[in-house]
Amino acid sequence: MLESILTDDKRIAFVQHIEGQGSEYFDLVKEKDFEGIVLKKADSIYRPGSRSHDWKKVIAYKYENNIYITGLRKKEFGVLLSFEDGSPAGLMEFTKPEDRKNYMQNTRNTSEQKPTISFI
């Protein structure tokens, strides 16, 4: 319905959707190496800036061995991760509050301090 009334406006984009077969679609998303999907109740309303049980982000997490903590993002918390060869593996933003505090305290005296990052 929405797609039929949208005008040719570059500021608005219709996002394709699928009804049903969520598990099969999620398997395809993982196979294609995408980040994940958003599930929503069909009759729910989008409310910017708020969270709802009607909208859920499902992340296709990947697990690796030999990932190392190599730094800490300071302003917006995040732990910098690297593979054994030193190449970037990503950023871990979700940790328990007490772990965040420990990371911050333990990286104060690291070898390289930058305004936004502490390197370990």
pTM score, two decimals?
0.49
Containing structural domain, residue 7: 2-59
Whether residue 73 sits in one domain with residue 53: no
Domain total in the chain: 2
Whether residue 42 sits in one domain with residue 75: no
Q: What is the 3-state secondary structure (H, E, C) of the chain?
A: CHHHHCCCCCCCCCCCCCCCCHHHHHHHHHHCCCCEEEEECCCCCCCCCCCCCCEEEEECCCCCCCEEEEEEECCCCEEEEEECCCCEEEEECCCCHHHHHHHHHHCCCCCEECCCEEEC
Whether residue 44 sits in one domain with residue 9: yes
Whether residue 54 sits in one domain with residue 7: yes
pLDDT of residue 75: 79
Residue 47 pLDDT greater than 80, yes or no:
yes
Going by pLDDT thresholds of 50, 70 and 90, the confidence category of residue 92 is: confident
Whether residue 79 sits in one domain with residue 38: no
Summarize pLDDT for 14-46 with one digit per residue, the tens.
Answer: 777 788 888 999 999 999 999 999 888 989 988
Going by pLDDT thresholds of 50, 70 and 90, the confidence category of residue 95 is: confident
